[in-house]
C-alpha cells in the first residue's frame, strides 16, 4: 500500500530530530510544549503517524494535531482541526 504522505513525513521527522532542542527552545519557536505525562493529562490520543499525533483536548473536546520529537519526547505546535 502506498502512502502519499510518507516522503513529507520522513523529511519532517528528520527536520524535527536533526538536533536535540530544549523544551524552552521549542516553546520559544512553537508555543506550548507537553511531555508524555502532560499530553495524557490534557488530551486523548486518537491516532498517530510520525511526526504527527491526532488528539482531542479533554477540557473542551476540541480536536487537532500536534507534532512530536523523538528524544526527548515532546509534543508541540497544536493545530485545531
Decide if 1 is inside a domain: no
Task: Report pLDDT for 20.
Answer: 65
pLDDT at 21: 82
Number of domains composing the chain = 1
Across the range 21-49, mean pLDDT stands at 95
Position 47 pLDDT exceeds 70: yes
Tell me if 12 is assigned to some domain. yes
Residue 55: inside a domain: yes
Given a contact cutoff of 8 angstroms between Cβ atoms, the answer to whether 23 and 74 are in contact is: yes
Question: Would residue 30 count as lying in a domain?
Answer: yes
Question: Predicted confidence band at 10 (pLDDT cuts at 50, 70, 90)?
Answer: very high
Residue 69 lies in a domain: yes
Average pLDDT estimate for 6-22: 88
In a domain, 60, yes or no: yes
The answer to whether 9 and 50 are in contact (CB under 8 A) is yes
pTM of the entire structure?
0.90
Domain range for residue 76? 6-80
Amino acid at each position: 500500500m502506498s502512502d502519499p504522505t510518507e516522503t513529507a513525513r520522513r523529511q519532517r521527522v528528520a527536520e524535527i530530530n536533526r538536533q536535540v532542542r530544549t523544551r524552552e527552545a521549542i516553546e520559544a519557536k512553537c508555543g506550548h510544549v507537553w511531555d508524555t505525562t502532560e499530553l495524557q493529562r490534557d488530551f486523548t490520543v486518537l491516532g498517530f503517524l510520525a511526526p504527527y499525533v491526532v488528539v482531542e483536548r479533554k477540557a473542551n473536546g476540541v480536536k487537532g494535531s500536534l507534532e512530536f520529537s523523538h528524544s526527548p519526547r515532546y509534543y508541540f505546535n497544536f493545530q485545531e482541526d
